[in-house]
Every structure is written in structure tokens, then in C-alpha cells.
A and B are shown apart, each in its own frame.
Chain A
Amino acid sequence: MSDRTSTISIVTRTPPIAVHRARRAKPVSVASPRRGAHTLLSSVILAAVGILFLIPLLWIAFASFDGDPTVSMRLPETWTLDNYAKVMTWQLTWQPLLNSIAISLGTAVITVVVGVLAAYPLSRYRMRFQRSFMYGILFGTGLPITAMMVPVYALFVSLKLLDSTWGVIVFMAATSLPMAIWMLKNFMDSVPISLEEAAWVDGASSMQALRRIVLPLMRPGLAVVFIFVFTGAWGNFFVPFVLLFTAEKFPAAVSIFNFFGQYGSIAYGQLAAYSVLYATPMILLYVIVQRLSGGAFALAGSVKG
């Protein structure tokens, strides 16, 4: 979560059901003959940077299919699915992935439910402490969670929550709450209050109005927050690494690390295959978020220029 938390505080200011402004037309170039050369140069530099970004990624992809993988990137001499077959065991892959799903799902459900409840009064009513509360939330999104792991460990010792999956879930939910509340409040702000007022006139309570009117209207926003929290928990290594001890409870991030550390000479092909299995859901979910929030790069689009 930690490295994503602040990421997302930017995202939060993205309007959810926003009308997408057509991107401004590129300025008409005055010096068109030079433009071609300019584009060519940019493209060459861009391609070079792209290759540098590609190489470490290609290593994972190739090594996972390589019958005799090494630590350096190369085309496999023999393509094989052996690495995948070897890691696809209950103990090595399926159980940790199930644990990851349980932890991520639990974290995301708790965060979204608690976050929606908190966002509603913050969005709908004007309250005296609201400003300081929102500042507190914003402050929380900035704190480095990794720095908290030592005190959290000590706290979990006294709460007897160590080595408990629920402990991990509740802690992750709490740390993702500031960002979630911030996002959800902004998503809610864009649902017009007039719709609820009609419901209130008809005698609905505010919670009924929230459930029947507001939530259905902010469904894409809910999905975005849910997926963000889910992927944050899915990719988190440090929190379960510190708080869990039993191998049966490890999520994939921790079991992959132990797998990597246990071998004197690392089985790189298996490590790569395992990495692919573990990373794929996260990439798919990211693509879904992009769709929901309207196209590539839309997420970061709200930093004020």
C-alpha cells in the first residue's frame, strides 16, 4: 500500500462521472519542415528509453518459458511450460494465491464499506470539524506506512493479533482508509444532492437514500476504489511479511520471497513463472480501472497545473 497511498491521493481528485473533455488540438506548427526531424528525434529517444524499460520485463517473460533459464535476458533455446508446471502446486502457488485473494478481498470490502459510510456525512453535511478531519485524512495519505511497521508489530504483540490473517486485513484496511475516504467523498460530491432530497421528501432515511440513490449512481467510482484497494493489498509485501509467521497463511508476495530466498542457487525459471502468475491479476485489474475511469492516463489527470 505504502507506495500507492500517495499515488492515489492524486487520483482522488479525479472526477468520477466526469465529462471527458476532448483533448485540445495540437498547436498548428509554424515551422513544419523542421517538425518531421523533430518527431523523428523524439521517436528515436523514446524508443531507446522504451527498450530500457522493456528489458527487465522481457527477462521475466522469457525466463518463465525457458527450459534452462539464466539470470540474463535471452530468447529461450527450448520453449517449455515446465516452470509453470513445477510451481503450480497447492503449497507453492494455489494456497498463497488464495490467501492473497482472501486478504485483498477482505481489505477491499472493509475499506469500501467503512469508507462509504464515512464519506456520506462528509459529503452531504457541513460540520464544524469537517475541515480538520479532511486535513487529517490527507495527512494520513502522506505518511510512509513502511515506517510504521515496527510500532505496528509492537502494537500487535500487545493486541495478540500477530500471525492473524484478520489482523493483517484490518490493518491494511485502516491504512487504505484515508485514501479511500478522500476518493469516495469526491465521487459522492459529484452525485447531485437534489435526487436525495426527493427521496427524503418521500420519507426515506439518509441511509436509505445512500443505498438506493447515491451508491447506484457512483458505481464506477466504487469499483475504482475497490480495485485500487484490492491491488494495493495484493501487491503488498511488507505488511504480511512482518505480521504473519505461518507458511499456510502467507499471501503470494511473501511465499514468492521465501521461495526465492530458500534456494542456494535460485530456480530462475520457476521464480519468473511464479511472478507472472502473481502479477497477471494486478495488470488485468489495472486495465479495468483504466476503462472505468476513462482511458489511459486519465487517473493522474487531475493534478492542478
Chain B
Amino acid sequence: MTAVAPRGTVARGRGPAPRPRPAGRTLTRLLPLLPAVLLLAAFMLGPIVYSLYGSLTDRAMTGPRAANPQFIGLDNYAELFASADFWNSLWLTVVFILASAVIGQNVLGMALAVLLRSSVKPLRSIVGGLVVLAWVLPEIVAAFALYAFFSTDGTLNVMLGWLGLEGTSWLYSFPLATVIIANIWRGTAFSMMVYNAALAEVPPELTEAATIDGAGAWQRFTRVTLPVIRRSISTNLLLTTLQTLGVFTLIWVMTGGGPGTQSSTLPVLAYQEAFKFAQLGYGTAIATVTLLIGAAFSVVYIRILKPEVD
């Protein structure tokens, strides 16, 4: 696939040669962009700007502060940064992303991609299909399935019972661990597909040469394969991080962010503060912080892809 990928460069120089044009003509050409620009400005840029502004007000869901919010400067942020809940939530988010996306999905995805290449055909399509199915399911259905799996009377404890082990109420005792595993279960397919494609592009001559030089399978993998596909790895790490930063439904359905705040990542905390505790301004401040984190990763992502954007 890669060989024919149309990096934006294909378009470059394909249009008419750049020479001075009548202004009217340029405007006509830009006209088709208008609906998209308007929509993006109103519903993407709008909420972001609103988010930055709203986080500086004491807007609430009900009462006088709903109708007439006051500008309170950085008070929300001061309160936020002084709040143990926020730091707890930030920490949970970091652990959630590191464990489920950076380590879980990437390592399992890579392992599956490698295993798929070296196992028998029917098994390959069946297991590959199952992993992808977990990814294709609507998020809420995946969340129900894993809620059931981890429930006190759920499949996991029944299976542990067969082994003579005592289960526990996983969703209450280890809420973060359960949502981490759930996110790995749901999201690994993406990494698997990315790495599967990347591995297919590794020139076989390289690994053959390494074999002849006496490299074992592990050495071939770490010294030849991994360096060759490092760009796929960095891109995939970023994308899975961004996806996982936004995970809400999975956590909300499985644990509701609880018990207490033990699995409230930033999106969940923002939702709770804004809608359950009716602190819209405060919730917006949390949302803004989350957006800024996402924006930072997004910028890194763009820098990595830079040569491909025309």
C-alpha cells in the first residue's frame, strides 16, 4: 500500500502555474471551501474558543449563575490546580493511557501482528477477525460485554472458580485495572492492523541477510524489524494515545468513574463536575486542560507527519 500512497505532494504543481490571477477568480475557487470553513469555525473552533472563555467564568447549570455568569479570571484554574481530585484524575489519565494504549495496545498489537504472520491460515483469519470485531462493535456494546465479564458473578470469576481460585468484585476493587484491560481488548485491533501492514513492508532481504549472518529470531526482530518500522511505531503510539485520551463511554458504562473517583479520567471528571455537580465553568476548565493535552499530542503528531502534508 505504502508505495502508492498519495502524499499530498502528488497534487503539488499539478494545478495551473502560479501567476497573478484576477481576485474574482481566486474567490470563486475558494467558494466551495466556505461551507466547511463555516461548519468547522462554528462547531470545532467555536467550542474551543468557548472552552477557553467559559473556563474563566463561574457559569453554572442552574440558578443565577446560569443566566448571568460572572467573569472570574483564573479562579477556576486556581481551584482546579488546588484540587486533589484534579491531580488524581490527571494521574489516572496518565496511567490509563500508558498502561492501556502505549503498553497494552501497542505491545499486544505488535505481538499479534507477528504471531499472525507465523501461524496457520484458518487460525490467522479467525483470531484476526475476532480482534477486529471487538474494535468494530459500538463502544457501548463493548462496554456492556466487558462489564459483564468483570462483574462479581461474571465470566472471569466463573473461570477463576474452575481453577479453584477465589474471584473478587473486580469493578469495585480494581476499577482502573478493569477499564485498562477493557480498553486493550477494544483497541488492540487498530495497532494490530497498523503493525500487520508495517511488517508486510519490511524487505525480506534484510531479515534473510540477518539470518545468514547468524541472527536469531529475537535479534532479527529487535535489530532489523523494529528499526525498519519505527515510523509506524511512533505514529501508532501517538494515535492510540490520542484515542485513549478521549475514552469516555467505556469507563462511564463500566465503573461510572467510581467507586468514588478511582477511575475518573479527565473526560469523566469534566462530565461529572459540569453535569452532575452543575459546575459548568469548572467542568469547562477541566475540558480545556484535556483539550490542551490533546492539542500538544496532535502537534507532535503533525510534526512527525510533516513531510507528507503538502
User: Which residues of A are at the interface with B, using a C-beta cutoff of 8 A?
Assistant: 2-3, 6-7, 9-10, 13-15, 18-21, 23-28, 30-31, 38-39, 42-43, 45-47, 49-50, 52-57, 59-60, 63, 70-74, 113-115, 117-118, 120-127, 130-131, 134-135, 138-155, 170-171, 173-175, 177-178, 181, 185-186, 189-190, 193, 206-207, 234-235, 237-238, 242, 253, 256-257, 260, 268, 271-272, 275, 278-279, 282-283, 286, 296-305
CB-nearest residue of chain B relative to A122?
B33
Contacts of B4 in A (CB 8 A): 15, 18-19, 21
Q: Are A15 and B36 in contact (CB under 8 A)?
A: no
CB-nearest residue of chain B relative to A171?
B43
CB-nearest residue of chain A relative to B193?
A300
Looking at chain B's contact residues, the main secondary structure is helix
Instruction: Report the Cα distance A131→B307, complex, angstroms.
Output: 11
Instruction: Report the Cα distance A19→B248, complex, angstroms.
Output: 39
Contacts of B200 in A (CB 8 A): 23-24, 301
CB-nearest residue of chain A relative to B270?
A150
If A131-B310, A135-B309, A149-B271 touch, whether A144 touches B290 (CB-CB below 8 Å) is yes
Q: Which B residues between 3 and 46 are near A, CB-CB below 8 angstroms?
A: 3-8, 10-16, 18, 26, 29-30, 32-33, 35-37, 39-40, 42-44, 46
Residue contacts A-B, CB under 8 angstroms, 14 given: A6-B243, A21-B4, A39-B120, A53-B185, A117-B32, A138-B301, A138-B302, A149-B287, A186-B8, A238-B249, A282-B137, A296-B128, A302-B1, A303-B236
Interchain CB contact (< 8 A) of A50 among B18, B37, B127, B235? B127
Contacts of B267 in A (CB 8 A): 144, 146-147, 149
Chain B: residues with Cβ within 8 Å of the partner, total of 132
Instruction: Report the Cα distance A71→B150, complex, angstroms.
Output: 9
If A27-B204, A73-B155, A135-B302 touch, whether A302 touches B2 (CB-CB below 8 Å) is yes
If A21-B1, A190-B10 touch, whether A114 touches B309 (CB-CB below 8 Å) is no
Residue of B36, B118, B232 most packed against chain A (CB within 10 A): B36
The stretch of B78-86, B172-180, B207-215 that contacts the partner chain = B207-215
Q: Are A120 and B246 in contact (CB under 8 A)?
A: no
CB-nearest residue of chain A relative to B287?
A150
Residue of A15, A39, A148 most packed against chain B (CB within 10 A): A148
Contacts of A125 in B (CB 8 A): 15-16, 29
If A7-B239, A15-B4, A56-B149 touch, whether A238 touches B133 (CB-CB below 8 Å) is no
